[in-house]
């Protein structure tokens, strides 16, 4: 067992990391809500505003992640292995980055329509983000909330598996039904970003599962 793991078990915990992780998870939930609205919006001006809001959440996330890394470098005792704290913060920030990249592609490419598969993937992202936020909010009391934490992580895994099927169906649909090559390329790139977001959310759940193995 790593020395930091032993120390974090027996020494007083520095709890300042929990609010920052919770803030990042909240930003992710809000960003996914904006993304969901973006994919159901037909008004060009409102789409542009939603893209700006998503970008703002991503910028906030970068700042919080930077603060977490700074504190990790200046804190001796962390509530979990510092590698786990860093990994969780980093992968949640990655999700914010992917959501922002997806939104910017929507704004840049202006696709004529969104296949139903994209709407389904966005719904999965929102559900996964909410499950992840709930899980992160439980981390500060891990000894009492481990069962709920495991349930959240299992649900995220189920969502990721369902998204894999939807992604495959979406790509199959594009190449069999989309006759406009330019639109096909636009939609394929957007769908790939959505799939990446789902995978990153599942990666965050895996970090939490790793923490559970060590500390619950």
Please give the structure tokens belonging to residue 24: 């990042």
Nearest to 186 by CA among 108, 129, 132: 108
Over the chain (216 residues), the average pLDDT of each successive run of 10 is 48 72 98 97 93 98 96 85 94 98 96 94 98 95 88 97 97 94 96 98 97 83
Rounded to 5 degrees, φ, ψ at 115 are -60, 155
pLDDT for the residue 10 = 43
Please give the structure tokens belonging to residue 40: 């159901």
User: 134 Cβ partners below 8 Å, 6+ apart?
Assistant: 148, 152
What number of other Cβ atoms are within 10 A of residue 166's Cβ?
21
Domain that holds residue 203: 3-215
pLDDT for the residue 99 = 98
Whether the CB-CB separation of 126 and 36 falls below 8 Å is answered with: yes
**Looking at the 3D structure of the chain, how many domains does it have?**
1
CATH for 191: 1.20.58.220
User: Looking at the chain, how many residues does it have?
Assistant: 216
The pLDDT tens digits of the residues spanning 87-118 come to: 999 999 999 999 999 999 999 999 999 999 99
Q: What are the start-end ranges of the E strands in the chain?
A: none
């Amino acid at each position: 067992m790593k020395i930091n793991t032993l120390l974090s078990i027996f020494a007083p915990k520095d709890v300042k990391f929990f609010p920052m992780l919770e803030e990042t998870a909240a930003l992710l939930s809000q960003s996914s809500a904006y993304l969901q609205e973006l994919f159901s919006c037909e008004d060009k001006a409102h789409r542009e505003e939603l893209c700006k809001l998503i970008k703002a959440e991503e910028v906030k996330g970068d700042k919080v992640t930077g603060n977490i890394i700074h504190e990790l470098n200046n804190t001796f005792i962390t509530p979990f292995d510092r590698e786990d704290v860093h990994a969780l913060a980093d992968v949640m920030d990655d999700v914010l980055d992917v959501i922002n990249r997806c939104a910017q592609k929507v704004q840049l490419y202006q696709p004529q329509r969104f296949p139903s598969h994209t709407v389904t993937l966005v719904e999965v992202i929102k559900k996964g983000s909410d499950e992840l936020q709930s899980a992160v909010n439980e981390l500060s009391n891990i000894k009492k909330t481990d069962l709920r934490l495991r349930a959240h992580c299992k649900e995220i895994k189920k969502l990721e598996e369902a998204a894999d099927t939807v992604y495959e169906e979406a790509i199959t649909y594009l190449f069999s039904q989309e006759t406009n090559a330019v639109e096909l390329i636009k939609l394929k790139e957007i769908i790939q970003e959505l799939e990446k977001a789902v995978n990153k959310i599942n990666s965050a759940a895996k970090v939490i599962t790793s923490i559970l193995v060590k500390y619950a």
